[in-house]
Every structure is written in C-alpha cells, then in structure tokens.
Amino acid sequence: MNRFFISISILFMGYVIYGFYLSQFQFNLIGKDIAGQNVFYNYKLHQNIYTQMSIGSGTYSSIAEEHRRTQSKFVLFTDLNPATILDQDRYLTNTGQLFGAKILTDTAAYTVYSPTDKNSANYYDLAYLKNNSKDYLIIDHLNTSFEGISHADGVDALNLKTMAYKVGANKKISTIWSLIFYPFNPRLSLLRLYRDPVDELKLFDQKSLTQKVNLHLSSEVTARAVPVTNWLLKFPSYENVFNMASQRVLVTSELTTNMSIDKYPLFDALKRGSFYISIDTLGDSTGFETYIVTDKKNEYIFMGDEHTLRPNMRLVFRLPREPNTHHEVILYKNGQRIDHRNTSFGDFPITSSGVYRLQVRLETVLPFPDADNKWLTWIFTNNFYIR
C-alpha cells in the first residue's frame, strides 16, 4: 500500500512539475512593428458561436464578456435551428453582437446571417435565400456529406471542431496529452489540436475556379459544461477558443460603434470576401494588409474583388510585425503554389488571369514532446479574381 501511494505521489509531482514547465512556455514568433500606412481598418470577428439557447453553455452577456477580454470586436451568434425571431444586432460592453443561425437539415448544413431579416423561418428555405441572396450571407459547411449549396457566399474550410476531431482520431495519445495538460497552458494545448486544413483548402480552391466563393473560419464553440461534483467545467472555454483564431474584417472607413450603421459595412465585407483568417495563437495579425495595385494612381483591388487583367499588376503584402522565426509568404494561383517571399513586405507580379490568394507560414518550435520544428499557417487570405 505504501508503495502504491509513493508511486502515485511521484506521478503527481511529475505532473505538477511538467505542468509548471508548460505554463512558462510562451509563443514568441512575432517581433517589432513594421512601419507603414494602413489602407484598412482591421476588426476581429468570431462566428459560429453557440449559446445556451441551443447547444452552447453561455449566455449572450457572459460570452460577450469573455469576448471582450480577448480584445475582439464582433461575435456572430449562430444557434442551431432556431424557432423564434432572432435578436437585433447590437453593441454590448463594447462588443458587437450579430445574430444569425446554423441550419442543419436532412439535406444541408449552412450558416445564415442577415442584418435586416431576423425571421429565422426564412433561413430554412434555400430557394427563398437564393432568390433574395443580396440580403443574406450563406456559408456552406464542408464537414458534412451533404451536396454543396451552389449559391453559398462562402465555405467553412477552417472549422476548429472538425480539425480537433481529425487530430483526435489520428493521434489519440497526443490528444489525451493536450487534454491532461490543458489547465497549465490552454493556448498550447489547443494549438496542438490544429492542423492546416489541406483537404478543405483543396475543395475551396476547386470551387473558386467555377464561382466566386469566400474562405471562412467556423469557431464552432459551445464551451459545453461538464458537471464535476457540484460545479461546472466549461471546456474549452469561449475565451480560450476566441484567443486561438479569428476572422479579420477589413473596411476602408472606421466603424462608428452605432450598430444600426455598422452592421451594413460589416455585412458587405463578409459577403464580398474582404477579410482574412488568422491563427492568433501564433501571433497578433492586426495590421496585416494585402491588395493588388495597378498603374492607375490610388486604385486598389481588394480581397474578394473581380477585376480584368491589366499590365503591371502587383499583389502587395505587408506583415504587421517582423517575425522572430523563419517565415514565408506563399502565392497560390488556381490552388497551386507558384511563388513565395521570405520578406515582411513585398509584392508579386500578376501577369495572367486566375484566382490568387496568400498564405503566411511560420516555423514554430514547441516544447517537449513536440520539440521538432513545425511549419504552421498564420494567415489565410481570401481570393483575388483576375479575369
């Protein structure tokens, strides 16, 4: 019996010591700011967030407070299959709350958001949404066996829950490790469950060749409460998922903090594709910019735009900060890698028609047992369509 308790004590002490070691680990991949004049205002947004109204565990106000602590600006609530009139978009504790819905039927799975129509009954009718498409943002969910929605504005190629399930199925021991040591360093534990969505990006690129479509991030956060004795454990918390990744909406005019005004440029940017996806655990991407310039003075072509090919077009990029590690900015054309830069700012010549996008990748070094170097994507841009 004494040997048993001694063994348990040694294991517990080892767990605590190693946990303390993990708690000291910090990501230090991004360094000093890069000077430059910004074209855009950058707003951090999370979507596909569930509350206790459906499959989540938080209230609108509690989630808004966790969201505010992550220095995020907007949250898009999309409770599953609502049967009531949705709330009106609003600001609460300086957080913009947008209200849409996640619709799951026998034949489709998609997210809907409208700044004007909060009658959720309309969201179930795909024919109605197609006929009135200018008033709705529709995001098709790729993590299903359903046939795609032809008139969807975007696809959720980066779905955090789907990624975690895939890692859990293929790397069970690594997943258990993340769960055990989650209390010591939540950011590190959640990042270990992240992989670049290679298959989903391939589908996105294929779809982009035949129609204009946007690349979305679905946080799919529920913070589903797990009962432990007389209290509830919320795992993973809303705040920790918010800290992991976000969509960065880019607009050319500063928002007013009046939701009756701000919801329209936000909707336009999301529907147009004027946003990129950031894995924030690797570093704050606020200030990242990319656009295409031409010979015409002060002419900018933004993400999501369609434009005819012109001589001397250049796709410009500028990172917000100087990386402290090896990095690469990769140019994709029609889903194929065609060029790259290892600089913090620069440009790529655009000499032929095609669908272009960028990925910014960083070399990361994680603590034991992941002591080897890994390349992970920090930033995924949306497409530029040059015809």
Instruction: Say if CB 382 and CB 276 are below 8 A apart.
Output: yes
Residue with tokens 């943002």: 137
* The two structure tokens encoding residue 164: 């975690």
Closest to 248 (Cα-Cα) out of 292, 294, 216, 222: 216
Q: State whether residue 247 is helix, strand or coil.
A: strand
Strand-pairing partners, residue 140, are 110, 155
Q: If you count DSSP H runs as helices and E runs as strands, how many of each does the chain have, helices first?
A: 9, 24
CA distance 110 to 13: 47
Determine the Cα–Cα distance for residues 322 and 114; give it in Å rounded to an integer: 38
Q: Structural domain boundaries of the chain?
A: 5-386
In tens digits, the chain (387 residues) has pLDDT values of 577 777 777 787 877 787 888 888 888 888 888 877 889 999 999 999 999 999 888 899 999 889 889 989 999 999 999 998 999 999 987 899 999 999 999 989 999 999 999 999 999 999 999 999 999 999 999 877 777 888 999 999 998 888 877 877 777 787 788 878 888 888 888 888 888 899 999 999 999 999 999 999 998 888 765 554 454 556 688 999 999 999 999 999 999 999 999 999 999 999 999 999 999 999 999 999 999 998 877 788 999 999 999 999 999 999 999 999 999 999 999 999 999 999 999 999 999 999 999 999 999 888 877 767 789 999 999 999 999
Whether residue 383 contacts residue 358, with contact meaning beta carbons closer than 8 Å, is answered with no
